[in-house]
Amino acid sequence: MIPAKIEPISITTISKKGVDSIYDWLEKHKQTFYILGWSYLRKQQQMEELFYRFIIKVHKELPRFKRETSFELWVTSIFIPICRELSVDQGESEPRQDLFNALDQLKEYEKEAMILTYVKGLSHEEAAQLLQVSVEKIKELLFSGIQSLRKEMGYESAFNGCREYHKYYIDYLERTLERPKKIDLEIHIYHCQDCQDDLASFQDVLLTMANLSEKMEDFHVPADFMENVKTRLAEREKHRQQKNKKRLRIGMVIASFFALLIGIEVFTGAFTNYYYTWTEEDQELRALLQQDVGERLNLEAESAGVKIKIRSAVADEVQTLVFYEIEDTAEDNQYMMNYDDGVFVENEHKIMNTESQPWYNPPDLKSAVNKKRKNVYQGKLSLLPLTTDKGTIKLKITKLLKLIRDSSDQSSFMAYDNTEYKTGEWNFEIPVTKKPSVEYALKEETEVEGIPVRFDRLTIAPTATILQYSINTEQTEKRIDALNFDNIEVNNKKVKTDMFGSSFMNAQQVMNWTTFQTYFDPLYGEKPKQINVPLKSIHLTFEDPKTIELDASQKYPQTFEYAGSTISIDKVEVGLPSMVVISNHEIKNRAYEELNFSVLGEEENEPISMEMDTEGVLVDKNGMEYNQNKIPVSYEEIDQPRNFITVQSFRIDGNSAGEKVIPKRLEIYGYNTTKYLDDIVRISLK
C-alpha cells in the first residue's frame, strides 16, 4: 500500500508564501496524491487539471483549516470532491494499472471506500470522516466491494456462508476483531465449510488488493507533470495581476445624476418603478424588483477567462431564484449554469429544504439581451427553497454548459451530441431573505373523462403561482397520470404554465386520491376572486392485459392484434444478450402511444437484467409529424405533442447466474395515451 501518513507542515509558512508554498509541499508528496487521482481519472490531462485545481483550492480554504484535524486528512477532503467532479465525463481511457481497472467495476461509494482503505491506507475512522458516513457504513461498503471483486476474480457472486458472521470478516482479517468474537468466529468456521470457503475467497481478494497496492509504490509521476502544473499557476497569477489593473471608473456626471435621483426617492418614494423600468432589461427580474421582492446584488467571480455575476436572488416557499450573467472575456462564447452539473450549494442541507426539487430553466436565446452580445448570457437558476427566514447561500460552480446556437435558427439551442463545457471555479456567498406566500382553499370538484378531479388550493408566491389538485385513483382499468393546463386566469389576468416546473406528484395525502401541483408565472400578490382553469390535455393509462407466447425457433416477423392495432413481433433471438423487438409504424387513429409490457423467460419469477430502446414519432395537435430519431426536435415549440412509440427493443443480458434467458412470453399490462381537452373549470372565491 502507498504511504498513508505525511509529515506535519508549517501552516504559517504556507500562509505567508501562498500558492508557491503549497506547490512546493505537493511536489514532495505528489506520488500519494497522483496514485489517488488515477483511481478516479483516466487521462493525463485531467490529472494536471486536478493538481492545478487542488493547489488553488487548498490556498483558498487554508484560513478555515482547524489544527485539531490532521493536515493530510484535511487536504484529502479537498482533493476527493475535485476528483469526483472531473471523473463525470471522461471519454476514452489512457492505459492504467490493473488495480484501477478492477476498482472501476465497483459502485461509486464502494470504490471510494476501497481506495481510501486499501490504496490510500487510511483507517476506517478516517475513511468514514472523508465520506461523511459511519464506520459501520464503511465496513458495509468494503464488504460489498470485496464481494463484487470476488465475482471479477471468478468466484461466485454471492456468499454461501452464514450471514450473521459476514460482519466479522473484515475486522478478523485486519486483526482488529475483539477477542471473544474472534474465538466465536474461529470455532464456527472450524465446523462450517461454507464459511471457510467464503472467508478464504474474501482473503484472496484482500491479498490481491495488497499485492497490487504494493506494486503502486514503484509507480512514478511523469517528469514534466509538476512543471506543467506550475506553468498553469504562473499563467493564472499573470492574468490576476492584469485583472487588478483594470478598474471601472464612474464619471462624476453619472454619479451626480444618480445622487439626485436617490434624493428624489427619499422625499417622494416615486422613483423605484421608473428606475427599474429604465435600467433592467430582463423583464422577469424587472417585475420582481418593482414589486420589492428582490434586490440587486452584483456579486462577481472570475475563473478560466469567464466572469460570472450574480445579479439578484429571490427566495420564497417555492424556490430560490438566482439571476446571473456569464461573460466570456477571451472568446465569443455563451455559457449557462446547470444545477447538479457542476453547480451546487455547499451548505444546502443546512439552509434548504432537500425534500423539494429544483426547477429546470431552459436557455433563453430569443431574449433581446442574449442576442445583443455573443460573449454574454443572462439566465436564471432555480435552487431549493429555504428552511430559514434568512440565510447565505454558498454557491460553488465548477462547470458551465456551452450554448451552441442552431445554425438554421439562431434563437434555438442545440445540446445533443455536441455538448461542451467550460471548467473553472467560481464561488459566491449570496444573501437571501425568504418572502411570504399566500394560500387560498378552493374546494372545487369535477370529472374529467369520467374520473373525479378535485382542485384543492391556489398558492400565490413571489416567484410562482401554484395550483394544487388531486385525481381519484379508485378506477383500476383507467387512470389519469397527468392533467395539463395551458394557462390559468385569475381575476381576468392570465398567467402561463411553467413547462419545466409543472406537474410533479406529491405523496398521496388522502386515500384513493393522488395530489399534483402545477406551476404558473407569478401574479405578484393578486387576491383571487374568480379563477378559470382551462384544461388542455390529459395523459391516460389503460389496463388491458394480454399474453403473447414467444418461440425463438419460429420465423419472425409475426403479428398479433391489440387495442385495435396490428402489432409486429420483428425479432426473437436467444443469446447473451437475448433480443425481442416489436413494432407498429401505423400511428393514424392509433389508440395507444406506448405499450407497457415485459418479456418473461422460462422461470417467471427469475430476476433478469433488461434494457429497452425505443424509436418514435412526435405528432402535434394538428397532425404534423416530427421524427425525433432523425432530426433534433424542440419539444417546447411543438403544439401539444404526442409521442407515438413505433419500435420497442428489449435487450436481455441474462439471469442472476449470468446464463442465457430464453424469451417465452410477451406480457402486456396496458398502454398509455393522450387526449386533448377543451373544457374550463370555473372557481369562485367571492
Query: pLDDT digits over 547-599, tens only?
Result: 999 999 999 999 999 999 999 999 999 888 889 999 999 988 899 998 888 88
Most confident of 276-280, 407-411, 655-659: 655-659
Enumerate residues 6+ apart whose C-beta is below 8 A from 223: none
Between CA 440 and CA 444, with CA 443 as vertex, the angle to 5 degrees is 120
Most confident of 19-28, 266-275, 423-432: 423-432
| Integer Cα distance of 70 and 81 in angstroms | 18
Q: What pLDDT, on a 0 to 100 scale, did the predictor assign at position 333?
A: 92
End-to-end CA distance of the chain: 75
Q: What pLDDT, on a 0 to 100 scale, did the predictor assign at position 608?
A: 57
| Integer Cα distance of 67 and 73 in angstroms | 11
Phi, psi of 284, deg, nearest 5: -65, -45
Q: Which residues of 667-681 are buried (b: 16+ CB within 10 A; e: fewer)?
A: ebebbbbbeeeeeeb
Mean pLDDT of 642-664: 81
Helix pair angle (283-290, 272-279), 10° resolution: 170
Mean pLDDT of 231-249: 66
Burial of 50: CB neighbours in 10 Å, binned 0-12, 13-18, 19+: buried
* Range from 6-10, 125-129, 323-327 carrying the lowest mean pLDDT: 6-10
pLDDT grade, residue 411 (50/70/90)?
A: very low
Higher-confidence residue: 436 or 366? Answer: 436
The share of the chain scoring above pLDDT 70, in percent, equals 78
pLDDT grade, residue 651 (50/70/90)?
A: confident
* Range from 48-62, 254-268, 565-579 carrying the lowest mean pLDDT: 254-268
Q: What pLDDT, on a 0 to 100 scale, did the predictor assign at position 596?
A: 86
Mean pLDDT of 392-404: 92
Cβ contact 292:272 at 8 Å: yes
How many C-beta neighbours within 10 Å does residue 291 have?
16
Q: What pLDDT, on a 0 to 100 scale, did the predictor assign at position 249?
A: 45
Higher-confidence residue: 442 or 69? Answer: 442
**pLDDT of residue 7 exceeding 60:** no
**pLDDT of residue 503 exceeding 70:** no
Q: What pLDDT, on a 0 to 100 scale, did the predictor assign at position 457?
A: 92
Q: Write the pLDDT tens digit of every residue in 515-539.
A: 888 889 998 767 889 999 999 999 8
Q: What pLDDT, on a 0 to 100 scale, did the predictor assign at position 417?
A: 42
DSSP count for the chain of H helices, then E strands: 18, 27
Q: What pLDDT, on a 0 to 100 scale, did the predictor assign at position 181?
A: 83
Q: To the nearest whole number, what is the mean pLDDT of the chain? A: 80
Mean pLDDT of 226-233: 86
**pLDDT of residue 635 exceeding 70:** no
**pLDDT of residue 5 exceeding 50:** no
**pLDDT of residue 646 exceeding 80:** yes
Q: Write the pLDDT tens digit of every residue in 77-97.
A: 888 888 888 876 666 667 666
What three-state secondary structure class fits 556?
coil
Q: Write the pLDDT tens digit of every residue in 302-337.
A: 999 999 999 999 999 989 999 999 999 999 999 999
Instruction: Give one DSSP letter per residue of 95-146, joined into a string.
Output: P--HHHHHHTTS-HHHHHHHIIIIIS---HHHHHHHHTS-HHHHHHHHHHHH
The share of the chain scoring above pLDDT 90, in percent, equals 27
Q: What pLDDT, on a 0 to 100 scale, did the predictor assign at position 109?
A: 81
* Range from 13-22, 79-88, 223-232, 278-287 carrying the lowest mean pLDDT: 13-22
Cβ contact 482:448 at 8 Å: no
| Integer Cα distance of 363 and 336 in angstroms | 7
Q: What is the DSSP letter of 224?
A: T
Q: Which amino acid is at 645?
A: I
Q: What pLDDT, on a 0 to 100 scale, did the predictor assign at position 416?
A: 39
pTM to 2 decimal places: 0.56
- Give the E-state strand segments of 259-305 in sequence order: 296-303
Q: Write the pLDDT tens digit of every residue in 170-203.
A: 888 878 888 888 888 888 887 888 888 878 877 8
Burial of 184: CB neighbours in 10 Å, binned 0-12, 13-18, 19+: middle
Domains, the chain, in order of start with CATH, read 1-96 (1.10.1740.10), 282-433 (2.60.40), 438-532 (2.60.40.1640), 543-679 (no CATH)
